[in-house]
Amino acid sequence: MNSGSPERSPLDDSFGLAGAWLAARIEEDPAMLGLGDGMPAFERTVVHSRPDQFAVILFHPAEGIRHVVEVQLGSADADQMDRAVRHMEEERARLPLIPHRAAVAAERIPEDVLAAARQAGLPLDVVELRIEPSGELASVRGELVHVHRPEPDTTDGAPEPTH
């Protein structure tokens, strides 16, 4: 795990307002993260102790999937991936009948984080935020990495019927 602080973000300010600003933009338009098809519904923001880190919970009614997105200003790191997976597992335990996906979103996704995401063996989306030099959020690009693990089998162990 990387215990160092992430690289400084062009959004950072000395008052920690950048994280709150970004969280508000995502709440206004959760589709900006590019996760899933259609318009996701914003459920809530989970505030972390650091002002440059937070999580958002989104639900895609058409897909029936909840997304747990760990957002971090600056570069993504292994700690952020761990938080995303841990938080997704907590949400899955709360609502076990709904499929969940973990995601990380950051301004930069280093190659080592992409490699770790590919090897994670679980549903993990990686979103790279695009920030203008002025500090304005211009756009985001989702789906850099999709690593899938089958959802747990909730049947009673009976074999699937064949057609």
User: Among 127, 134, 101, which residue's Cα sits nearest to residue 31?
Assistant: 127
Q: Is 72 helix (H, G, I), strand (E, B) or coil?
A: strand
User: Among 21, 14, 47, which residue's Cα sits nearest to residue 136?
Assistant: 21
CA distances, 138 to each of 22, 74, 99, 133, 141 (Å): 12, 15, 30, 10, 10
- Across the range 126-145, mean pLDDT stands at 59
* Tokens 């076990």, located at residue: 96
The separation between CA 76 and the C-alpha centre of its own chain, rounded to angstroms, equals 11
CA distances, 77 to each of 20, 65, 95, 98, 106 (Å): 20, 25, 27, 27, 9
The overall average pLDDT reported for the chain is 76
Q: Please give the model's pTM, rounded to 2 decimal places.
A: 0.73
pLDDT at 132: 59
For the segment 8-60, what is each residue's pLDDT rounded down to a tens digit?
454 454 334 578 888 888 898 888 888 877 789 999 999 998 888 999 999 99
CA distance 152 to 35: 22
